[in-house]
């Protein structure tokens, strides 16, 4: 899926990698979230997210501002210039998902989504357990 998404992003001429596009989509969906929260939601290391945000900020697609409740933390906001790009990224992602699930009934797709969410929850729970 990542390769398909990368190719579609290239064809669209957005100048984004799949990681940057995903970061932009999450930043838009969870507008004003802390960087650490976005990293957790995306299932990536905070330093990985910082690299994506640095590139997006350099293109004026996101803005990081200090959290008024904790000046050490940064809140991520999507700029107005990014809004049409976010829309295009969502369209590309929808086409990729449709291609990946072609031939599957809506019920099977829903069951697959539930199974994958459960697997992710199980794996994340393992990460939160104290190490022996």
Q: What would the pLDDT profile of 34-64 be if each residue is shown by its tens digit?
A: 999 999 999 899 999 999 999 999 999 999 9
Which two structure tokens, joined as six digits, stand for 120?
Answer: 């992710």
User: Do the Cβ atoms of 40 and 49 come closer than 8 Å?
Assistant: no
Give percent above pLDDT 90 in the chain: 82
Is pLDDT of 9 > 70? yes
Backbone angles phi, psi at 105, to 5 degrees: -70, 155
| pLDDT classification of 2: cutoffs 50, 70, 90 | confident
User: Do the Cβ atoms of 19 and 2 come closer than 8 Å?
Assistant: no
How many contiguous H segments (helices) and E segments (strands) does the chain have? 6, 2
Tell me the β-bridge partners of 65. Answer: 75
Mean pLDDT in residue range 108-115: 95
Which two structure tokens, joined as six digits, stand for 125?
Answer: 């729970």
Please report the pLDDT score of residue 125 as a whole number: 81
3-state secondary structure of 49: helix
């Amino acid at each position: 899926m990542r390769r398909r998404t990368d190719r579609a992003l290239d064809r669209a001429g957005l100048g984004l990698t799949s990681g940057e596009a995903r970061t932009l989509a999450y930043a838009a969906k969870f507008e004003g979230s802390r960087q650490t929260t976005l990293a957790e939601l995306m299932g990536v290391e905070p330093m990985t997210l910082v690299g994506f945000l640095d590139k997006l900020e350099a293109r004026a697609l996101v803005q990081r501002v200090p959290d008024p409740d904790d000046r050490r933390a940064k809140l991520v906001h999507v700029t107005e210039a990014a809004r049409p790009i976010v829309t295009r990224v969502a369209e590309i992602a929808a086409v990729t998902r449709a291609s990946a699930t072609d031939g599957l009934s809506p019920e099977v797709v829903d069951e697959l989504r539930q199974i994958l969410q459960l697997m992710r929850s199980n794996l994340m729970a393992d990460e939160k357990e104290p190490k022996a």
